[in-house]
C-alpha cells in the first residue's frame, strides 16, 4: 500500500471520522502503539543520510571519470541512478516535514535533493500532499489510481500500451501534465493543483529547475552530447524507472481495495497500500518500501518506519498488507492483472480481461 494523505498536513485530524468506519481499530489505536520517539525527527540522523547520499554520488562520478571505460559505464548508470532515487527519498521526507523540525531547513534540503535530479520540489511536494489526502479514493487520488472497465474499453491501443507496459518512464510526463484525466502542471503557479498562497513556492522551484536545465545545457555545450548521455541522461533514466516502479507497486495489487463516495475514509485509504521487500536496496533507498506506516503517519522520519511497522502490525492483523514476492514477479503480475476496476461499487478491486 502506499501514498500520502493528510488534512492540514496532520492525519491525526481525521481520527474522529475514522471511528465511524467498519475497521476494528482507529487511528488513535495505532498511534498509541508506536513509541513516541518514532514521531520525532533526529536532525543528526537526517543530515547523515543526506550527506551520505551526496558523498556516494560524488565518489561514483569520480570513479566514472577516472575509469572512463565502456565496461564500467553501464554499472555506473545503474548505481548512480539508484543513488538519484535515494536522494529523491530524502527530498520526499523534506516534503513531509519529517526531515527536521525546521521548515526552512526541510525546504532547503528538499531543493538540494530534488533540483539536481530535475524534480520541482514545491510543485511535487504539494501534489504529493494531494495524493496522501486522497489515497485509495478512485475519484480524488493523485497518482496510480485505476480506470473503470468502461474507460478501459474506450482507451486507444497506444494509450493502453503506455499506461500498462511503458509506465516505468511516466514520471517526467506526470510532472508536466499530471496523471490522465487531471489538469495542471507541477511547474505553473496557475495550475489548479496550487492555492494562491503556494504560488510563490511553486515559482521558486520552477526557476531552480530551469536553472538546473540551463546548467546541464552549458555542460553539454562545453563537453558534448556524449557527456550528457554518460554522466547524466542514463542515470536519470534509471532514477525514473526506480521511482515509477516503486510508486506503482505501492498501490497496484489485486487484493488492495479502492473506494468510492462515502465508503472512503482517510484511514481506509492509508492502509490501502502494501509493504514490499527490495532486499539489500531497502537500506539504500531509505526503506521507502515500508509504506503502510508511512501512509498512516506521513510525518514520521524514514528511519523510524520499520520500528513503527512492527508496533502496528499486531493491531492491524489481516488489514496490514505486505509481500515477500520478488519485485520482478510482483511487477509482472500487477502489470498484467491490474488494468481496471468495476464501473460500480463503493469498495472495488483491480481486475483485467485475462481474469475470468
Residue pointed to by grid coordinates 516503486 = 246
pLDDT of residue 54: 98
pLDDT of residue 355: 61
Between 16 and 52, whose confidence is greater? 52
Cα angle at 48 between 45 and 53, to 5 degrees? 135
Between 201 and 159, whose confidence is greater? 201
Contact by Cβ (8 Å): 100, 45: no
Across the chain, which distance is largest between two alpha carbons, in Å? 63
Contact by Cβ (8 Å): 268, 23: yes
Cα angle at 204 between 198 and 209, to 5 degrees? 125
Q: Report the alpha-carbon distance of residue 191 to residue 177 in Å, rounded.
A: 10
Contact by Cβ (8 Å): 154, 248: no
pLDDT of residue 288: 95
Contact by Cβ (8 Å): 323, 297: no
pLDDT of residue 10: 42
Average pLDDT in the 54-70 region? 97
**Alpha-helix residue ranges (DSSP H) falling in 96-133:** 103-114, 121-133
Confidence band, pLDDT 50/70/90 cuts, at residue 354: low
Residue 166: Cβ within 10 Å count: 11
What value does the CA radius of gyration of the chain take, rounded to a whole number of Å?
20
Query: How many residues in the chain?
Result: 356
Cell of 229: 548521455
Contact by Cβ (8 Å): 23, 319: yes
Between 149 and 356, whose confidence is greater? 149
- Judging by beta carbons within 10 Å of its beta carbon (0-12, 13-18, 19+), is residue 17 exposed, middle or buried? middle
pLDDT of residue 166: 82
CA atoms within 13 A on the CB side of 326: 3
Confidence band, pLDDT 50/70/90 cuts, at residue 83: very high
Q: Give tens-digit pLDDT for 299-349.
A: 999 999 999 999 999 999 999 999 999 999 999 999 999 999 999 999 999
| β-strand partners of 147 | 340
Q: Which of 88, 174, 82, 131 is nearest to 266 (CA)?
A: 131
| β-strand partners of 322 | 275
Confidence band, pLDDT 50/70/90 cuts, at residue 132: very high
Helix (H, G, I), strand (E, B) or coil at 147: strand
pTM of the model: 0.91
Average pLDDT of every residue of the chain: 91
pLDDT of residue 6: 31
Q: Give tens-digit pLDDT for 1-45.
A: 333 333 333 443 333 344 344 899 999 999 999 999 999 999 999
pLDDT of residue 164: 83
Average pLDDT in the 249-277 region? 94
Q: What sign has the CA pseudo-torsion 165, 279, 81, 244?
A: positive
Residue 53 CB contacts under 8 Å (≥ 6 apart), including other chains: 83, 86, 87, 90
The DSSP output letter for 137 is: B
Average pLDDT in the 40-61 region? 98
| β-strand partners of 351 | 340
Of the given ranges (136-140, 165-169, 222-226, 300-304), which has the lowest mean pLDDT?
A: 165-169
Residue 101 pLDDT greater than 80, yes or no: yes
Amino acid at each position: 500500500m502506499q501514498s500520502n494523505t493528510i488534512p492540514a498536513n496532520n492525519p491525526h485530524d481525521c481520527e474522529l471520522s475514522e471511528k465511524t468506519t467498519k475497521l476494528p481499530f482507529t487511528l488513535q489505536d495505532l498511534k498509541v502503539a508506536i513509541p513516541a520517539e518514532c514521531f520525532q525527527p533526529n536532525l543528526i540522523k537526517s543530515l547523515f543520510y543526506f550527506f551520505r547520499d551526496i558523498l556516494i554520488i560524488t565518489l561514483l562520478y569520480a570513479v566514472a571519470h577516472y575509469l572512463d571505460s565502456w565496461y564500467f559505464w553501464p554499472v555506473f548508470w545503474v548505481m548512480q541512478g539508484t543513488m538519484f532515487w535515494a536522494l529523491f527519498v530524502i527530498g520526499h521526507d523534506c516534503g513531509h516535514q519529517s526531515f527536521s523540525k525546521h521548515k526552512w531547513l526541510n525546504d532547503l534540503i528538499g531543493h538540494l535533493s530534488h533540483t539536481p535530479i530535475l524534480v520541482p520540489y514545491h510543485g511535487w511536494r504539494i501534489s504529493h500532499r494531494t495524493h496522501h489526502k486522497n489515497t485509495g479514493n478512485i475519484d480524488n487520488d493523485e497518482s496510480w489510481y485505476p480506470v473503470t472497465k468502461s474507460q478501459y474499453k474506450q482507451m486507444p491501443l497506444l494509450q493502453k500500451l503506455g499506461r500498462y507496459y511503458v509506465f516505468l518512464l511516466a514520471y517526467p510526463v506526470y510532472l508536466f501534465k499530471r496523471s490522465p484525466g487531471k489538469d495542471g502542471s507541477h511547474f505553473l503557479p496557475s495550475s489548479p493543483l496550487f492555492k494562491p498562497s503556494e504560488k510563490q513556492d511553486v515559482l521558486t522551484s520552477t526557476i531552480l529547475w530551469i536553472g538546473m536545465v540551463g546548467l546541464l545545457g552549458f555542460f553539454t555545450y562545453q563537453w558534448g552530447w556524449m557527456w550528457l548521455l554518460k554522466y547524466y541522461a542514463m542515470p536519470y533514466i534509471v532514477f525514473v524507472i526506480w521511482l515509477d516502479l516503486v510508486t506503482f507497486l505501492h498501490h497496484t495489487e489485486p487484493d488492495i481495495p479502492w473506494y468510492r463516495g462515502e465508503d472512503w475514509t482517510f484511514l481506509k485509504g492509508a492502509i490501502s497500500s502494501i509493504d514490499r521487500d527490495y532486499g539489500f536496496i531497502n537500506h539504500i533507498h531509505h526503506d521507502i518500501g515500508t509504506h503502510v506506516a508511512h501512509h498512516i503517519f506521513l510525518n514520521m522520519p524514514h528511519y523510524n518506519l520499520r520500528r513503527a511497522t512492527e508496533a502496528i502490525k499486531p493491531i492491524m492483523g489481516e488489514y496490514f498488507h505486505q509481500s515477500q514476492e520478488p519485485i520482478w514477479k510482483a511487477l509482472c503480475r500487477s502489470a498484467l492483472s491490474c488494468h481496471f476496476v468495476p464501473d460500480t461499487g463503493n469498495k472495488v478491486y483491480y481486475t483485467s480481461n485475462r481474469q475470468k
